[in-house]
Structures are given as structure tokens and as C-alpha cells.
Structure 1
Amino acid sequence: MTTCSVPLNPVPGPRGLPLLGNLPEFGRDPLAFLTKLRDEFGDAVRWSLGPRQSLFLSHPAHITELLAAREQMYDILEIGWAFKRVVGQSVIMSKGDDWRRKRSLVQPTVRPRQVKTYATTMVDCARRAADRWRDGDRIDVHREMALITQRVVLRSLFGNDLGDRTGALAEAMNVAEHVIGAELRSMTLFMPGWVTTPARRRLRAAVATIDGEVHRLIRARLRGPADAEEDRDDLLSRLLAARDEDGRPLSPREVRDEAVTLWAAGHETTSTALTWMWHLLSAYPSVRDRLEAELDRVLGGRPPTIDDHDRLTWTQQVVKESLRLYPPAWLLAGVARDGATLGGTRVPARTIVWCSQWTTHRDPRWFPHPAAFRPERWDADGPDAVTDHAWYPFGGGQRTCLGARFAQVEAVLLLATLAQRFHLDLPATEVTPRVGLLLQPATPLVATLRARR
């Protein structure tokens, strides 16, 4: 466990309302509120989310210590009924021995060696989309990116794109993500599960659609020949074949929870990240020119493969810098247990300790000119080393995102495949982020396609 050398000196933040605390101000504009805590109060600020006492961290040293100790000294924050309804008791919601067992079973399915096997699927899905595009067409960027990543994750997870059922499943997942994000910003976050609202009814229907299809696939696999799983190379088969150290498999319900979590995490996060990338590339033509020059030099007109990934260094830097400016996952939290400390200071039990990728990634102490899109920040031979956990779009510590490698490889290969063939020209207007479960553009980004000659 990391011991922080930077002392923690918490200060009180803005006064809140009785019972509600700072929830109204946080709910109106979470990004502005958290930035205010950092800029006006300091690196460790006490505030309240409704009735819950909170501590917001901005210094990477404290964030590093928090993330390293999340399993030992912090409980999972129960972030609302909607989120738990979707992901169930998957690895991201488990703790203790249950978490260790599930992580040991799920992690091998997304290790770098396994991710290599999905690279061809990633490129194929991007090429199919580009084959539909025509010079001069106008597209909703996020919708197009979501169609691609939805197909990638469904083929990687289930071995096919599910044919006619793909559309209904995609819509069900979109409803689930929207309801979760809305709940995060409102008082429904604290409502017990038995309280029914229109949004919760929509979520129940969406989860029923998702569960029906996932359980159908699980039953079909379990009814198949005993050696059939050995011939399959999708994530669902790997989850069903996994055994812990005692030889026990995941139960069908546990497989459902892990599969749906991998689906949700592997689809919308990457499509959101790619949407922001196209926005930034359109706004910074010199960055786009350098990207295209690299693609022409490395690929020579052919589609990329996993073997090209490490050679596409500027493409990787574009991805990293986009994730710095617009991290899809923008907030992390843990609930302190008895004995938790940060920077040598005791953290009262049950305090919610927060950190935000948005505010840390845009802190001028760690990133000069933080609002500027500068992929050269990530040059391997650059003069400025990035402070540990000043950049953490996938979290950190033992509970870092299991799909981080999958997501980064996917973003590089999809961007390379599409940028090789098209410019996506967007209007030169400011785009405001909309905060939900993920950080997405508040209004649709409509691009004009320009075929590269």
C-alpha cells in the first residue's frame, strides 16, 4: 500500500443547505463545482453530498494513495439503485474474497494476449462502417461511433452481432446508461429501491431486455457439447470456462453480471472517447495532418493490424491526450473504513472520498496550458514527465479498469482505420460536456465526411 509523502490538510468547502448539503450545486454543474473546490479551497476539501460527508482530493499524491488502498481501506460507494440494477454483483461492485475470486476469473479474458485476438474484429467493424460512408454525407458522430463499438463488443463478447436483436439491445443499454446518469445528479440517488418512478420503470424494462438475451445465450452455451467452448474464442465462452483455484466456475448469474458489465464498459466509453477525438482533430488541423501522415507512412494504404499498434505512436498520443481532456469516466469514489488515512491524516469512517479525472487532468500544475490539445505532451522523449496519477482515465491500483488495455487498443485501431479514409469536419463551435455516468457532448456533433484522396 502506498504511503503518501504529501501531508493532507482538509479544509471546509462551501456551505450547503440543511439535509441537501452541496447536492443542488453539484447537481447543476458537477464539473464547475469540483473545479471550484480545487481552485478556491485547495487539494483536500470537505463537502457534503446530501446527508453524506465527503472529502474531495486534487493532489495526485493523495489520489495515488487512495487508489492503492481502495481494496484494503475503502468500501465500494453504492451509487444508486439504477447502477446496481444493471451491473448486479459484478467484479466492480464486489469486495473482499468475493472480489478477489471474480477478478481472478475475469482478468484473464482481457489480458493483452487475449486482446490481440479481438483486434481483427475491431478493424473489420470500422471498415464496414467506412464502407457505408460517402464523401459529403453528414453524420451524427456519436451515433456512428456507438454503432461501431456496439458491434465490436457484441462480436467480442458473444461471438456475433446478434442480427436483428442488436438494435433492441443497443437501445436497452442506452436507456440504462441515461437513467444511471440522471440518477447520479439528483435526489433519486438516495431513494430506496422500492420507490417507483417513470425512469425506474424504463430501466426495469431495459434490463429485462438485456437479461433475456444474455441468459438465452448462456443457456445455449451450457446446453451445447462439452467441448464446444474450446472452439470458441469470445469473452462469454471464456467466462463460462473460467475456474477458480478450487475448480468452481462462475454461476450463470455471475456470468450475466460480468458479461453485462464488460458490455457496458466496453461499448459506451470507447464510443464517447472517439466522439471527443473527432471533435478535437477537427479543431486542430495540424494534429490531424500529422496523424494522417503517420497512417500513410506506417500502413501504406492497407488496414491496420495489431502488429501496427506499437508503431502508431502519434495515434496513441492523440488517444491519450483526448482521454486527458475529455475522460469518459470523470469521477471516482470510495467510502472510508475505520483506520483509513491519507497523507498521514485520519479520514473519519463512512466519509466518501472523491477524486475527479476531469479536474486533475486539467490542473495547470501538472499540465501547462491544460485546455490545449497537445498530443506531444506524451512524446516518450519529451522533456516533461507526467506526475503519477495526474492522468488516470481508467482509475488505478488493484481496482483499475480490467478493460483498459482492450479500450486503448480499440481506440487506436478504430481511429486509424477511419482516419485513414475520411476527415470528419465539424463546425468550429465550443462543445459543452454533459455529465452523466459518462462525460458526453451536451448536443449532437454532426460532421461532414470528406473522403481522403
Structure 2
Amino acid sequence: MTSIPVGTGTAYADHSLLGRTGKYTPAELLLALHRRFGPVVSAGAGRNRFVYLLGAEANRFVFANSPLFRNREAYAGLIPVDGETSLPVSDGDDHRRRRRLVQPALHHRQIDGYLRIMAENADAVVGSWRTGQRVEVYQAFRAAIRRSTIQSLFGGRLAADAEFFGDQLQPLLDLVDRLPQTVAVLERLHLPPWRRAVAARNKVDARIYAEIARMRAGDADDGDHVLATLVHGRGDDGEGLTDLEVRDQAVSLIAAGYETTSAAMAWAVYAMLSTPGVWDRARDEVRDVLGDRPPAGTDLSRLTYLNGVVHETLRLYPPAVIGARMVTRDFEFADRRVPAGSLLIFSPYVTHRLPELWPEPTRFDPERWDPAAPGYRKPVAHEFLPFGGGQHRCVGSVLAVTELTVMLARLLAGASLRLPAQRVRARGFAAMRPRDGLLAEVC
């Protein structure tokens, strides 16, 4: 794994994610493959054939040619967590129908109503800290974001069980971090990690299905949240989601909502504290725009530099290092034939670190996102894709960006931090996160 030494007086943080030993992380290995072999790299054969399509033009091709691919086989590793009918593993008409029923609950106007919840959960964390205390930033905000996500999307009843969901979803999330072949062995031999995951899923399902039943029976105060929309929503044909479909969308939104957003939160704090001047400038902007109050919806667009921090974090530390598709028909790209049956891998991480797109790509520079800055260039969708792209772009992307911005604003307003000496190591493909957490000292 990568090692990034940081501490007081650090002049420059190595955002290349290369350790002192020079060993590649899996993410950096993909970048090295692209430098050496170009946009198409093949590996394996037969049922174990992988094809890496790397770079912005590769992304554009994948997103523009969805009939060539299927998601289900590519993301089968998510099924133990998200379920058989969740959006990440849905294709074709099923995907379109389910997405149309989920999207209205995640509209911008709806998300604006969640800002108070986000701010309150951030304030609860920051308010518990004391000067001189060492805090584990990643875990602290992981719990806060989990509660905030559940409360925002599913109401107070499920939010009261936020710790329960964290405990029970963890064995399932641990499976996602393993290679698919390893998970298959765990399942086939019914080994302890698989048994723990199954038991945990049964507990999660029982809690979600109980809440669905309350809503179906009219015994619950539905409120204005996503679970109510999923239960009562109807498509153009007048049909709604089944209980299984509601369960799968709910669990995938909970798991992805806090797992990826909390990782990005930790990387944002790390980047701000390890890059000279960034923390102070972001803090000053928050104070100038907001004073001591939490942000309202109209404030977010005024936080230009902080928005740059969020986008630069998502560029250097995208929630998913790779995306995948199963190839269903032969095609050609960059004069190379890609046969059906291949597992296609594309990489936001690689694209976000290409010098032809991003000058000094490993430098953390929030100003590159400021339209008023000299040399500003707005990236197009296939150049900046922290949440994927095309028909399968993450449905919760706006929620994630909003939550990051609000929680960072409250952190900057309420605390001063410094990084003690430590090694910050990256881990994970589903959500690239600090392997051993992130320590900070409250000043």
C-alpha cells in the first residue's frame, strides 16, 4: 500500500500516492500501464480476459455505447450488499424504470432541505473536540455522515438506528473490498466471513422491510424523504417498486452514501492540512460568506474556493478508482479489437491524473476550479468522472457533493486542526480511503 509521510512543517504532500519505497499502488499501476501501452491494455484470456480502456476518449466511448455492455456481471460483487435489483447491477429497461423512480427524491430542491441535518451532524462531531485532543477524523466523520445520510434520506426512525446499520453493513462492505474470486470461494465453502455477512444482511433486511411494511399499511409518518418516495412512487405505467426493489435501493443509497462520502471527507481534510495555505484560505472564505451560521442552499455557490477543494479532492481521490462493464458484443477501439465476454475496466483515477488534461496533475490546486482564475477550463463529462458517467452515473452524486461542502464548511468554522507525523495510506477500489484512518490534533 502507499505511504505518504506527513507532519508539522510538511512543505508538499505527495498526492501521487507513491510511497518512499517507489512501489505502485493498484491505482498507480493503472496509470503506469496507460503511460507505457496507451489507451488499450489487455490481460488474461477466455473467461478471465480483462481489457483496460484508459483515458478520456475511452471514457467517452464507454458512456456513449451502453448497448455494448452490461453492468450486472461487472458489479456482481456488490450484490451481497446492495441486492439483486439495485441500480448499480441493473441494466436496460429495469435500470431505466428503477432510476426514474429514485431520481425525484434526489433532486436539487429536495437536497436543499437536508442542509440543516448535514450541518447539525457535523457540528455534533466538531463540538465534541477539545484543544490538544488527537482525533481520528475519518472515523468521526464516517459516523456523522452515516447518520446524516440516513436521517436525510430515510427520516428519523431509521436514523435512530444509524449505529446499528454501521455495525451490520460492515461485514457486507468488507466483502466488496475482496476480489470477486475470493468472495466466490468464501460463499462456496460457507466460510466465517461469508456467514457473518449473511447474518448481518438478514438483520438489515428485517429492519428495512419492517419500515416498508409500516408505510404500506399507512401506519407510518412518511415524511418528506426517499423511503416514502420509493414506497409510494409510480412510474408512467402506474406501477411502483416491489418491496425487494425498495429494499435494494434503500440499502445501496445508505451504504454508498456514507462509505464513499466519508472517504472523500477524510481526503479533503488531509489535502487541506498538507497543502500549504489551503486550510487557511478555505476557512477565511467560510467566515466571510457565512460568519458562524450554517450554509443555506443559496450560499453553496458562493463558496467558490471551498467548492474547488471539494472538486479537487474528487479529482485526486475519486470515490471509485475504477469502473467496469461486461462486454456483450465485439467492438473496436483505438484500432484494437475487444471481444465479447471481456471484462472492461475504465478508470476515473487515471483520467484525473493525465497531464494533458490537468497541468501539474498531482498538485492539489482548488483554484483550477475557479471560473475567474487565469487559464480556467471547464472539464467535460468524460474528463472528470468521480461518480462515473453515462446512464449509470451515480444517482446520489449531488447529495454527496452537497454533504461534503456543508460538512467541510462547518468543520472550518468550528475547529483548527494540524496533522501530526503519520503515514497516510490509501486502500480500496469501491471507496478509496485512508487505510489506517487520519489523525489530526485540535489546535
What TM-score do the two structures reach when normalised by structure 2?
0.88
Change (3 A) 1:161 1:429: farther
Match of 1:394 in 2: 387
Corresponding position of 1:408: 401
Letter in 2 for 1:318: V
Asked whether the equivalents of residues 82 and 200 of structure 1 are also in contact (C-alpha less than 8 Å), the reply is: no
List runs of 5+ in structure 1 lacking aligned partners: 1-27
Aligned pairs for 1:268-347 (under 5 A) are 268-343=259-334, 346-347=337-338
Question: Of residues 331, 339, 348 in structure 2, which corresponds to 1:348?
Answer: 339
The answer to whether the 8 A contact 1:361-1:367 is kept is yes
1:76 counterpart letter in structure 2: N
Identify the residue that residue 258 of structure 2 maps to in structure 1.
Answer: 267
**Is contact 1:330-1:358 (8 Å) kept?**
yes
CA distance in 2: counterparts of 1:62 and 1:81, whole angstroms:
23
Task: Give the SS at the match of 2:441.
Answer: strand
Distance 1:49 1:225 in 2: 55
CA RMSD of aligned residues (A): 2.2
Whole-Å separation in 2 of the counterparts to 1:51 and 1:191: 17
2:93 to 97, 108, 118: 97
Alignment partner of 1:132 is 2:132? no
* TM-score (structure 1 length as normaliser): 0.87
Q: Which amino acid in the other structure matches residue 39 of structure 1?
A: R
Aligned pair count reads: 417
**Which 4+ runs in 1 deviate beyond 6 A?**
none
Counterpart position of 1:5 = none
Following superposition, the deviation at residue 317 of structure 1 comes to 0.3
Alignment of 1:24-423 (within 5 A): 29-48=25-44, 51-70=47-66, 72-79=67-74, 82-88=77-83, 89-160=85-156, 162=158, 165-184=161-180, 187-189=181-183, 191=185, 193-225=187-219, 228-229=221-222, 232-343=223-334, 346-382=337-373, 383-388=375-380, 389-423=382-416
Deviates more, 1:315-324 or 1:166-175: 166-175
Residues 80, 189 of structure 1: 8 Å contact kept: no
Aligned-pair distance for 1:204? Answer: 0.8
Q: Which blocks of at least 5 consecutive residues in structure 2 are unaligned?
A: 1-23
Q: Which amino acid aligns with 1:99?
A: H
Residue 48 (structure 1) shift = 2.6
* CA distance 1:161–1:298, shift in 2 (3 Å): farther
Work out whether residues 147 and 159 of structure 2, in 8 Å CA contact, stay in contact via their aligned partners in 1: no
**Tell me, what secondary structure is at the counterpart of 1:369?**
coil
| CA 1:387–1:159: 2 relative to 1, 3 Å | closer
Superposition deviation, residue 444 in structure 1: 2.3
Per the alignment, do residues 50 and 156 of structure 1 end up closer, same or farther by CA in structure 2, a change over 3 Å counting?
farther
Matched residue type, 2:393:
T
- 1:428 deviates by 4.7
How far is the alpha carbon of 1:131 from its aligned partner? 2.1
**In the alignment, is the contact (CA less than 8 A) between 2:265 and 2:408 conserved in 1?**
yes
> In structure 1, what is the Cα distance between the partners aligned to 2:99 and 2:92?
11
